[in-house]
Structure 1
Amino acid sequence: MRRVKRKIRNKRKISTGKKIALGISIFFLAIFLTAGGYYLHIYKSIYVSDHKNPYGKDMDFSDLDIAEPLYEEQEGITNILLIGIDAREAEEASRSDSMIILTIDSNNEKVKLTSIMRDSYVDIPKYRRRKINAAFSLGGPQLLMKTIEANFRIRLDKYIVVDFHGFENIIDAVGGIEVDVEEHERRELNKFIGETREVKSPPLTRTGYQKLDGQQALAYSRIRKSDSDYRRTERQREVLGILANKLLKTSVVNYPKVMNSILDCVTTNIKPSMLLNYAYTVSKFKNMKIEQLQMPMTELSWGGMYKGEWVLLLDTEQNAAVMNDFIFIDKEPNVDELDLEACNAVIEKLLGRSLASENKTKKPINNEVITSPVDK
């Protein structure tokens, strides 16, 4: 576990013209959504009550004994768990393919994306230790939120689930996204374009910066074999960031198309009126920044075969501290402050062997906080 520290900063202010356009767009969107019958249609299409599991049986968590969160809820900070699922049919039991905590930090005018690696080997309440992505298939978004709370000591009560089929539709509705594709990525994503579609988008014929439609963008975000699950998670955050910028710039006349694409693939326990409030809050940020963090930190985890499957073993205590500090007090990870020996001890106890020889040969992977630019 070598020490690696790299920060990328590239901050730009949102232009006055864009802020005005964004404010007007949200104003008209509010009128559009609150127009009686259509608001009710949206409400019935995407909203489910807090304790109902639309993906399986409901669970009772009243008897759980979970450690207290490291930070209490703070005014100005809203956390929403974004869940991408690999179901092929609506309400099909499935594992969560991506898990990202979206933080709206009004205190620092930031949007933060904290990705949780799906192979993280953790305690799942009411079940045994498993990969964290199994929690969703076992108990839906409620169990996944409780699993994150139990292991990372952060309380979550809001979620948005997006299925992959709808992910394609949303990107198509905003006219596609622009991505810089490398050769090994081009070869791999071409294998999986339109996996669930009868009519498939054309394969990419070149590398470099280019526009991807929904099918191509989904295939890009799910690439894994050509590099690693770390890079795969980075691609997912990249796509989400680009899509967020596209949504901010979407024309008012395109909102009905975008909204209809969202209705077909989104399930949430957040009422549409609150979603509008969150969008309005973000639109008022004068110097909005998007920052990203990957969990667990590479320095605080070990990846390899364990009990017959590839997993990420992690020091949950230290990773929880890093995550909570990043979200609640806006503190970026500092490798010099980590107790790497304590982390090694945790991993070695799980493995039942020493990591000394592996640490000398294992190639490090960058773990970084990325500040993404917001287009003018």
Structure 2
Amino acid sequence: MAKYDDDYVDISSSDDMDKIYDDRERREPAPRKPKKNKGLGRRIFVLVLSLIMLLVGSGLVYYYKVLDSMHFKELEPAEAPAATTVTTETTVSVANGGNTLLSSDNVLNILLFGQDSPATEEDHGRSDTTILLSIDNVHKKLKLTSFQRDTYVSIPGHGENKINSAFTFGGERLSIDTIETNFGIKVDKYATVDFSSFREIIEALGGVDIELTLEEIKYINAQIDVNDQTDVTSFLKYDETKEKQMVHLDGYQALWYARDRGEESLGGNPEYSFSGDDWDRTSRQRNLIQTIVKSLRENASLTELVSIANKIGPLVTTNLKKGDITFLVSNMMTYIKYDMEELSLPTQGKWGYGTTPDGQSVIAIHDWDGVRKDVAKFIYEDSVSGGSSSASSSSAAATTAPTANSVAQY
């Protein structure tokens, strides 16, 4: 992505604009036989244009207030370990993803975090949701790559652990380093939303209409019951004879849907038993994002999108600068028309369940080269072929990904 200057010039009262009109009046000869009051027409034109520029200027002030409401947090530069391999080649081996990072000027990778509220300001909390949003301007696609939170990875400076532990140890910076180290994909930017704010975001969108299974509906209702939330939301109505049905979710209901990974005897009630796992949860999270984007694509105007951004801005922490956000917003109506695709990592046939030496149950990847190839081809498509990529590469942490020997497979 190109770099943008954060300094802006408000031309609504520019001396240069005044000079343009002064020069034009000097160039125009006086009419010999005026049939209409052209001077009046010109003054009206200038007045209307001035009003438009004033409105635009006011809009810019409002827009920058929206941007200022967001929590900007730049990340500390990553520390390159001694074993880092630096390459200037334009074609790199995807199988060597642990030592190089793939990137492209035509693809913007934004890592999205869903964070549980930290106990203190110094605490990073937990990230139960990690999704990479790739804006692919070559193939006109929005791509969602989700990472299973129990995936066993190398965390720079912290040995081997589950991937979501990186956020607990070092927040967004360490999480990005961990994903780059293990999967070989350059992360350009990040955005973090606290789960306590997720409800407000859904409310700002006016809720969401989505198709759910009967069990998903009953799970949401069970959570509302167990957590005694009937004073702030309501039970979903449903038809017992239909396996799938459309429902409208408010913020509370949508949050339970996004966190649904099944549970036995929810709240100690054996009647509240639901099947599911982390794979189901990440699938639901991607489905929720896709449903929201589809709704915006079909129903929202640019004015409505800016209004939504105004409500959501204070709930987001990001290192996207004003220039970046301005560029993204100006292209928003284009982006929401892009097709959406999704990928869940690790990919099929390249992992197994395992137990670590300290007894943790984890997802153990036994074919790291294969997983790196899969994610590279998903994000960059025809830029990657035959185990290599024409996307540019840069140095990455060379920490070795966990081997099959580091966990007991089962």
Structure 2 distance, partners of 1:199, 1:321, is 49
Return the offset for 1:34. 6.0
Q: Please, which of 188, 193, 196 is the counterpart of residue 162 of structure 1?
A: 193
Return the offset for 1:109. 0.7
CA contact (8 A) 1:81 1:159 kept: yes
Identity across aligned pairs (percent)?
30
Q: How does 1:320-331 map to 2 (within 5 A)?
A: 320-330=372-382
Q: 1:126 to 1:347 in 2, by over 3 A?
A: closer
Structure 2 distance, partners of 1:294, 1:332, is 19
Structure 1 regions of 5+ residues with no counterpart?
A: 1-29, 52-58, 335-345, 356-376
CA contact (8 A) 1:326 1:333 kept: no
What is the match of residue 134 of structure 2?
103
- Correspondence 1:239 to 2:307: no
Return the offset for 1:111. 0.8
Q: Which has the larger radius of gyration?
A: 2
Structure 2 distance, partners of 1:90, 1:36, is 34
Detail structure 1 runs of 4+ shifted over 6 Å in the superposition: 331-334
Q: In structure 1, what residue type is equivalent to 2:206?
A: G
CA contact (8 A) 2:350 2:370 kept: yes
What is the match of residue 319 of structure 1?
371
Return the offset for 1:50. 3.3
CA contact (8 A) 2:118 2:124 kept: no
Q: 1:49 to 1:350 in 2, by over 3 A?
A: closer
Q: Please, which of 250, 254, 275 is the counterpart of residue 325 of structure 2?
A: 275
Q: In structure 2, what residue type is equivalent to 1:220?
A: Y
Q: In structure 2, what residue type is equivalent to 1:230?
A: W
Return the offset for 1:331. 8.1
What is the match of residue 21 of structure 1?
none
RMSD of aligned Cα (Å): 3.3
Structure 1 window deviating more from structure 2 (287-296 vs 81-90): it is 81-90
Q: In structure 1, what residue type is equivalent to 2:320?
A: I
CA contact (8 A) 2:211 2:246 kept: yes
Return the offset for 1:256. 6.1
Return the offset for 1:325. 1.6
Q: Please, which of 188, 209, 214 is the counterpart of residue 251 of structure 2?
A: 214
Q: How does 1:140-159 map to 2 (within 5 A)?
A: 140-159=171-190
Return the offset for 1:76. 1.1
SS in 1 for 2:295: helix
Structure 1 distance, partners of 2:233, 2:345, is 33
1:72-129 CA deviation, whole Å, 9 max, x = no partner?
A: 4322111110111122678552111111111111011111111111111101001021
Return the offset for 1:203. 1.9
CA contact (8 A) 2:69 2:313 kept: no
SS in 2 for 1:299: coil
1:200-245 CA deviation, whole Å, 9 max, x = no partner?
A: 3112232521111111011001101221211111000000111223
1:34-62 CA deviation, whole Å, 9 max, x = no partner?
A: 623651563353212232xxxxxxx8624
Structure 1 window deviating more from structure 2 (229-238 vs 193-202): it is 193-202
Q: 1:252 to 1:203 in 2, by over 3 A?
A: same
SS in 2 for 1:264: helix
SS in 2 for 1:192: helix
SS in 2 for 1:298: coil
Q: 1:193 to 1:272 in 2, by over 3 A?
A: farther
SS in 2 for 1:125: coil
What is the match of residue 278 of structure 2?
229
What is the match of residue 137 of structure 1?
168
Q: 1:72 to 1:294 in 2, by over 3 A?
A: closer
Structure 1 distance, partners of 2:332, 2:301, is 17
- Correspondence 1:171 to 2:202: yes
What is the match of residue 61 of structure 1?
79
Q: Please, which of 140, 144, 150 is the counterpart of residue 113 of structure 1?
A: 144
Q: 1:210 to 1:268 in 2, by over 3 A?
A: same
Q: 1:348 to 1:77 in 2, by over 3 A?
A: closer
Q: Please, which of 98, 101, 105 is the counterpart of residue 75 of structure 1?
A: 105
- Correspondence 1:203 to 2:259: no
TM-score normalised by structure 2 residue count: 0.66
Structure 1 window deviating more from structure 2 (252-261 vs 180-189): it is 252-261
CA contact (8 A) 2:166 2:178 kept: yes
Q: In structure 2, what residue type is equivalent to 1:283?
A: M
CA contact (8 A) 1:190 1:219 kept: no
- Correspondence 1:190 to 2:242: no
What is the match of residue 115 of structure 2?
85
What is the match of residue 350 of structure 1?
406
Structure 1 distance, partners of 2:334, 2:83, is 39
Structure 2 distance, partners of 1:319, 1:196, is 42
SS in 2 for 1:191: helix
Structure 1 window deviating more from structure 2 (143-152 vs 183-192): it is 183-192
Q: Please, which of 331, 344, 365 is the counterpart of residue 294 of structure 1?
A: 344
TM-score normalised by structure 1 residue count: 0.72
- Correspondence 1:309 to 2:365: no
Q: In structure 1, what residue type is equivalent to 2:235?
A: P
Return the offset for 1:185. 1.5
Structure 2 regions of 5+ residues with no counterpart?
A: 1-54, 87-96, 240-244, 263-274, 387-401
